């Protein structure tokens, strides 16, 4: 088996892919920093607080979910850990955020593949909410 050519092709592809991804993601990072400092996350999570009981979660969990949806899972974990919620609540949040997170970055990435990104965005949010309700109801 030849080694030089595949190695060279792999390197070239890897570099061009990395460059392409950096171009997509860097503006998203800047957008995230702006969103973090704008107070938008607080406003949205305050609006969502009364609905948290649908998922059997305390109102404080709204901030965790919204931060996970808009920023990323690490931001959500940072908010979630001090709350010290029981295993059931953490699992519900893990499932909801597993399905739907980092939307500011992942939606532009999805778009880059040519798929219908806004439809997939809606599917993710809907499935996330749906799975949260179902898991809460099943886990008695």
Residue ranges that bind another protein, judged by CB under 8 A: 1-2, 6-7, 9-11, 13-15, 17-18, 20-22, 25-26, 29-30, 32-34, 36-37, 73-74, 77, 80-81, 85-87, 90-91, 93-95, 97-99, 101-102, 105-106, 109-110, 112-116, 119-120, 123-124, 127, 131, 135
| Least CB distance to another protein at residue 1 (A) | 6
| Contact of 80 with 93, CB cutoff 8 Å | yes
Sequence-distant contacts of 42-47: CB under 8 A, at least 24 apart: 44/70
| Contact of 81 with 45, CB cutoff 8 Å | no
Nearer to another protein, 41 or 101 (CB): 101
Nearest in space to 71 (alpha carbons), one of 112, 17, 30, 18: 30
| Least CB distance to another protein at residue 47 (A) | 24
Nearer to another protein, 26 or 43 (CB): 26
Nearer to another protein, 44 or 73 (CB): 73
| Least CB distance to another protein at residue 15 (A) | 8
Alpha-helical regions (H) of the chain: 4-38, 40-48, 61-70, 73-80, 87-99, 103-112, 117-138
């Amino acid at each position: 088996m030849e080694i030089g050519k595949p190695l060279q092709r792999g390197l070239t592809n890897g570099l061009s892919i990395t460059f392409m991804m950096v171009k997509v993601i860097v503006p998203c990072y800047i957008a995230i920093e702006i969103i973090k400092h704008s107070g938008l996350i607080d406003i949205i999570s305050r609006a969502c607080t009364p609905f948290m009981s649908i998922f059997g979660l305390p109102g404080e969990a709204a901030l965790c979910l919204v931060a996970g949806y808009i920023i990323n899972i690490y931001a959500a974990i940072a908010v979630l850990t001090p709350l010290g919620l029981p295993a059931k609540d953490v699992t519900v949040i893990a499932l909801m955020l597993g399905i739907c997170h980092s939307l500011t970055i992942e939606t532009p990435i999805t778009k880059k593949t040519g798929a219908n990104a806004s439809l997939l965005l809606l599917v993710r949010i809907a499935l996330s909410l749906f799975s949260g309700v179902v898991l809460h109801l099943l886990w008695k």
